């Protein structure tokens, strides 16, 4: 899978769950301790997202923070793939940041869609979690 697709995948994942942008490289690391650190970071957000006190992802600085997370995740993917080209790394960052918008607004739209149909929020949130984690893992 090329860097363009991988950058978009990690960006969408970061838009949905911001920790996935920066923790994605940790989740696929060779060292077990590093993977555990990534799992703890992502797990914390997955739990925190379900709390009634969790702010909307659409409230500032949420979208900007998620864009930065998507950009960092994409840059990490590019560097890990051996890209030394500054334009390639910048392109990956731009794609990761841009794709995070789809994850941010798409995830919020999914939750509104589910709520409008009277579906319980927890299963809708867990479905979004599963999709975001899957995208992050596919990006590796």
- pLDDT (tens digit per residue) in 85-117: 889 899 999 999 999 999 999 999 999 999 999
pLDDT at site 1: 73
Spatial CB neighbours of 103, under 8 Å, sequence gap ≥ 6: 11, 12, 13, 14, 15, 16, 66, 70, 132
Q: What average pLDDT does the segment 45-59 reach?
A: 92
- pLDDT (tens digit per residue) in 4-23: 999 999 999 999 999 999 88
* Domains of the chain, residue spans: 3-138
């Amino acid at each position: 899978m090329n860097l363009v697709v991988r950058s978009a995948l990690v960006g969408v994942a970061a838009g949905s769950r911001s920790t996935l942008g920066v923790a994605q490289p940790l989740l696929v690391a060779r060292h077990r301790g590093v993977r555990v650190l990534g799992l703890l970071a992502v797990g914390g957000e997955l739990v925190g997202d379900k709390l009634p006190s969790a702010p909307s992802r659409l409230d500032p600085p949420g979208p900007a923070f998620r864009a930065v997370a998507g950009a960092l995740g994409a840059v990490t993917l590019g560097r890990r793939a051996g890209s030394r080209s500054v334009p390639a790394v910048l392109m990956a960052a731009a794609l990761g940041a841009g794709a995070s918008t789809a994850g941010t607004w798409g995830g919020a739209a999914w939750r509104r869609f589910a709520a409008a149909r009277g579906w319980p929020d927890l299963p809708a949130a867990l479905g979004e979690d599963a999709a975001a984690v899957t995208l992050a893992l596919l990006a590796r």
